[in-house]
């Protein structure tokens, strides 16, 4: 769906953001690795998104993601996160030649988000853009959320957040919303 020019532009923006936040010699650069599990619900009109004949739709979202987070939680309070994950968005059935056939919408997703920390690093808001890779296509998306992180050690914390996305498909939008939690490990300070 996206052409080579868009891919080059996105890669250039990611590289520029990473270099800006993690310039060698800066004492305030941090890198974190996060792993999260997700559980939520998909907001979608099955007939608009899947077509006539879709029935018995189960919209439970579940999956997980990993992220690399650049920047400090304190100070200027700005972090860049590159996250990659898998999500099961929904299951549904179609009647084909008089027989119900079961299908599911499972995706791999990638996003670049910016986190803005508030209240001395107690809460964050995040927003960004990305893509959801379905079996037969890749659709662009925007993502937003909010959350916090509970410190459980010098380098370890538990991020907890609520997040949602709007995925722009060929026929209509689909909107997964989910809660996630996991572990975050600081690689360097």
CATH number of the domain encompassing residue 131: 2.40.160.20
| Better-predicted residue by pLDDT, 170 or 43 | 43
pLDDT bucket at 42, cuts 50 / 70 / 90: very high
**Helix, strand, coil tally for the chain in percent (to 5):** 10, 65, 25
What count of residues does the chain have? 189
54-98 per-position pLDDT tens digit: 777 788 999 999 999 998 766 557 889 999 999 999 888 887 788
What is the C-alpha separation between 121 and 74, in angstroms, rounded? 6
Q: What does the angle CA 49 – CA 125 – CA 67 come to, to the nearest 5 degrees? A: 75
What percentage of the chain reaches a pLDDT higher than 90? 50
C-beta separation of 69 from 45 below 8 A: no
Rg (alpha carbons) of the chain, rounded to whole number:
18
145-160 per-position pLDDT tens digit: 999 999 999 899 999 9
Q: What is the DSSP letter of 87?
A: E
From 65, 81, 48, 27, select the one nearest 169 (Cα to Cα): 48
C-beta separation of 164 from 141 below 8 A: no
**Token code pair at residue 101:** 């056939």
Q: Would the pLDDT of 186 be above 80? A: yes
Domain that residue 167 falls in: 4-188
31-41 per-position pLDDT tens digit: 999 999 999 99
Q: Would the pLDDT of 183 be above 90? A: yes
3-state class (DSSP) for residue 6: helix
What's the domain count of the chain? 1
Q: What is the pLDDT of residue 25?
A: 44
The secondary structure element, H or E, covering residue 134 is: none
Q: Would the pLDDT of 114 be above 80? A: yes
């Amino acid at each position: 769906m996206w052409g080579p020019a868009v891919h080059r532009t996105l890669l250039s923006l990611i590289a520029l953001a990473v270099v800006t936040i993690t310039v060698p010699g800066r004492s305030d650069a941090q890198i974190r690795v996060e792993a999260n599990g997700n559980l939520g619900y998909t907001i979608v009109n099955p007939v608009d998104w899947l077509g006539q004949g879709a029935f018995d739709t189960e919209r439970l979202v579940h999956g997980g993601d990993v992220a690399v987070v650049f920047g400090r939680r304190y100070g200027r309070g700005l972090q860049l996160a590159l996250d990659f994950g898998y999500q099961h968005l929904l299951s549904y059935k179609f009647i084909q030649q008089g027989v119900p056939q079961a299908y599911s919408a499972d995706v791999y997703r990638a996003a670049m988000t910016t986190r803005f920390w508030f209240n001395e690093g107690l809460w964050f808001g995040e927003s960004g853009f990305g893509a959801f890779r379905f079996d037969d296509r890749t659709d662009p998306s925007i993502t937003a959320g909010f959350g916090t992180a509970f410190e459980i050690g010098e380098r370890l914390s538990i991020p907890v957040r609520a997040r949602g996305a709007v995925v722009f498909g060929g026929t209509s939008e689909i909107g997964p919303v989910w809660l996630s939690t996991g572990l975050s490990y600081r690689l360097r300070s």
